[in-house]
């Protein structure tokens, strides 16, 4: 912000150098994963899919259903601990290298901007200049490309929730057939466009809660992008430190900060200042690494050890969580059944003294084989009244829903809630799963 509290627009210099090249390779791999993960098929299913409508989630090829909430919770918890461990140890490296916000802004939208409007000086001059045919052309071209890229990214993002086939169907069908999806796509595209055209780095410096957590997560041993003040200061003097006060590290910074002021909330560890300073050091024949990946302790004492009590403790918790997750994943049943009394219903009593309850059955085949399943009452002796007596035929990873009416003689029941048990059997008559539910009687 300037002295009056107004936003200072950042004209960051186009970064170049060894670290930028590494980030560019990583970005290509990241974007390939982002685009291909919902398209690649393993055993006929996508590698990644978040099908919220059908409550089916495929993560790295493993399928999770709504009934797998516990396993999903374990996975999420493991992910949170992984992020904590990673942040305590390596600082905000996620932000600079793998966060979608940084990848989209720094590696796609800013690159478009550099291409159309030029590097930081030309862009600054263009914005200061009065409107001319050339300025209008450049601005229209840049914002046109931004809108196009926002729409493309939104469609890829939506593919993670719909899968590629459904997405193509939505795109090719008339708009009226998917009006809701179309409106969502437009809104998400508009948000993307607004963020990458105008709001930009403020997401990292003002909005993102992860950025705000750095103050409590980082310590003196965390590896961050750091300025070696011992070597660099006093800056800009002939007999002084190595920093020649050229300010290249500031002009290249996408969040507009001066890394020489120490670790800051706004630093996303993008490494642009490392590259800029290394190039300066090369020119003045001084050793590279005045700005580098190091810990505060590493700079103070000259040696670095990434281990401390916190990341050791997080590692142990993460190992336990992951072990438990893998165990529950591989021992989960082949078939997942949930049977619940139809909401809002109690019981019915017929003239011949039979009491009945109505149940909803939801069943999922989690295997890669087709299954024919039979539902029977295990205890107590009673009757399932079904409209169709055929077995439930389930294809690979298919779900089915049925309604059952269960009936007992009133004399065999206690007042209020009774316990009954269903059994799910395969074609060979083998019991696959038992499901206990309550039965209401007058
Ligand atoms: S780029 Fe390096 S030498 Fe130049 S001001 Fe920054 S830290 Fe100092
Ligand atoms: S200080 Fe350096 S690493 Fe941090 S955001 Fe700025 S350029 Fe990137």
At residue 382, the pLDDT reads 67
At residue 5, the pLDDT reads 83
Please report, to the nearest 10 degrees, the dihedral formed by the alpha carbons of residues 426, 428, 429, 435 taken in order.
-20
Check pocket membership of 204 for ligand 1, CB cut-off 6 A.
no
Check pocket membership of 226 for ligand 1, CB cut-off 6 A.
no
Give pLDDT tens digits for 188-222. Answer: 999 999 999 999 999 998 899 888 887 788 888 88
Q: Which helix (H) or strand (E) holds 329?
A: helix 309-331
Question: Contact, 163 vs 49, CB < 8 A?
Answer: yes
- Residue 268 CA: nearest ligand 2 atom is 5
Q: Residue written as tokens 């008339």?
A: 174
Please report, to the nearest 10 degrees, the dihedral formed by the alpha carbons of residues 54, 57, 58, 63 taken in order.
-90
Residue of minimum CA distance from atom 5 in ligand 2:
267
What residues does ligand 2 touch, defined as CB less than 6 Å away? 225, 252-255, 257, 259, 267-273
Interior CA angle at 130 toward 126 and 136, to 5°?
Answer: 65
Integer Cα distance of 28 and 14 in angstroms: 18
pTM for the structure as a whole: 0.80
Check pocket membership of 245 for ligand 1, CB cut-off 6 A.
yes
Give pLDDT tens digits for 288-302. Answer: 999 999 988 889 887
- Average pLDDT over every residue of 88-108: 91
Question: Which comes out higher in pLDDT, residue 277 or 429?
Answer: 277
Q: Which helix (H) or strand (E) holds 372?
A: strand 371-379
User: How far is the centre of ligand 2, averaged over its atoms, from the C-alpha of 269 (Å)?
Assistant: 5
- Residue 235 CA: nearest ligand 1 atom is 8
Q: Residue 125 pLDDT more than 60?
A: yes
Question: Contact, 188 vs 100, CB < 8 A?
Answer: no
- Average pLDDT over every residue of 324-330: 88
Question: Contact, 307 vs 316, CB < 8 A?
Answer: no
Check pocket membership of 257 for ligand 1, CB cut-off 6 A.
no
User: How far is the centre of ligand 1, averaged over its atoms, from the C-alpha of 80 (Å)?
Assistant: 36
Share of the chain above pLDDT 70, in %: 98
Q: Which has the closest alpha carbon to 244: 292, 277, 215?
A: 277
Residue of 233, 245, 288 to mutate, ligand 1, most atoms within 8 A of C-beta: 245
Instruction: Tell whether the torsion through CA atoms of 114, 116, 120 and 124 is positive or negative.
Output: negative
Q: Residue 386 pLDDT more than 70?
A: no
Q: Which helix (H) or strand (E) holds 207?
A: none
At residue 238, the pLDDT reads 77
* Kind of pairing between the strands at 291-294 and 224-227: antiparallel
Q: Residue 182 pLDDT more than 70?
A: yes
Cβ burial 265-280 (10 Å sphere, 16+ → b, else e): bbbbbbbbbbbbbbbb
Angle of helix 120-128 versus helix 110-117 axis, rounded to 10: 70
Question: Which comes out higher in pLDDT, residue 32 or 328?
Answer: 32
Question: Contact, 282 vs 274, CB < 8 A?
Answer: no
Q: Residue 56 pLDDT more than 90?
A: no
- Residue 15 CA: nearest ligand 2 atom is 7
Residue of 90, 203, 255, 262 to mutate, ligand 2, most atoms within 8 A of C-beta: 255
Residue of minimum CA distance from atom 3 in ligand 1:
243
Question: Contact, 405 vs 384, CB < 8 A?
Answer: yes
The domains located in the chain, with CATH, are 1-36+91-301 (no CATH), 335-441 (2.60.40.10)
Give the distance, in angstroms, between the CA of residue 8 and the centroid of all CA atoms in the same chain.
31
Question: Contact, 367 vs 399, CB < 8 A?
Answer: no
Interior CA angle at 160 toward 159 and 162, to 5°?
Answer: 55
Strand ranges in 23-135 using DSSP code E only, listed in sequence order: 41-42, 45-46, 49-51, 56-59, 62-65
């Amino acid at each position: 912000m300037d002295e009056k509290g107004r936003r200072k627009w950042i004209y960051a210099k186009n970064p170049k150098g060894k670290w930028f090249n590494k980030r560019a390779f990583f970005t290509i791999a990241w974007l390939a994963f982002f685009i291909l993960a919902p398209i690649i098929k393993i055993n006929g299913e996508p590698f990644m899919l978040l099908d919220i409508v059908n409550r089916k989630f495929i993560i790295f090829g493993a399928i999770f259903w709504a009934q797998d909430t516990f396993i999903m919770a374990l996975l999420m918890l493991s992910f949170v601990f992984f992020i904590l461990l990673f942040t305590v140890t390596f600082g905000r490296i996620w932000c600079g290298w793998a966060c979608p916000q940084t990848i989209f802004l720094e590696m796609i939208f800013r690159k478009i901007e550099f291409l159309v409007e030029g590097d930081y000086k030309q862009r600054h001059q263009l914005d200061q200049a009065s409107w001319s045919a050339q300025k209008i052309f450049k601005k229209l071209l840049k914002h046109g490309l931004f809108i196009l890229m926002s729409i493309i990214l939104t469609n890829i993002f939506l593919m993670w929730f719909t899968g590629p086939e459904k997405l193509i169907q939505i795109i090719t069908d008339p708009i009226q057939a998917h009006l809701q999806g179309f409106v969502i796509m437009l809104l998400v595209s508009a948000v993307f466009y607004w963020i990458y055209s105008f709001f930009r780095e403020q997401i990292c410096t003002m909005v993102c809660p992860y950025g705000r957590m750095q103050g409590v997560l980082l310590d003196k041993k965390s590896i961050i992008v750091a300025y070696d003040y011992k070597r660099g200061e006093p800056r800009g003097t002939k007999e002084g430190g190595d920093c020649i006060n050229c300010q290249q590290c500031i002009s290249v910074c996408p969040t507009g900060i001066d890394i020489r002021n120490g670790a800051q909330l706004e630093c996303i560890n993008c490494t642009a200042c490392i590259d800029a300073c290394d190039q300066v050091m090369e020119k003045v024949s001084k050793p590279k690494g005045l700005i580098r990946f190091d810990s505060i302790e590493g700079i103070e004492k000259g040696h670095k050890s990434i281990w401390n009590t916190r990341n050791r403790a997080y590692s142990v918790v993460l190992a336990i969580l992951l072990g438990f997750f893998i165990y529950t994943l591989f021992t989960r049943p082949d078939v997942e059944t949930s049977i619940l009394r139809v909401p809002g219903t109690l019981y019915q009593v017929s003239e011949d003294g039979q009491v009945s309850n109505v149940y909803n059955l939801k069943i999922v085949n989690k295997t890669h084989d087709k299954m024919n399943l039979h539902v029977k009452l295990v205890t107590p002796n009673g009757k399932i009244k079904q409209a169709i007596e055929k077995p439930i035929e389930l294809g690979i990873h298919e779900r089915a829903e049925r309604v059952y009416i269960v009936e007992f003689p009133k004399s065999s029941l206690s007042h209020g809630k009774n316990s009954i048990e269903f059994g799910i059997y395969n074609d060979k008559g083998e019991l696959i799963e038992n499901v206990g539910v309550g039965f209401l009687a007058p």
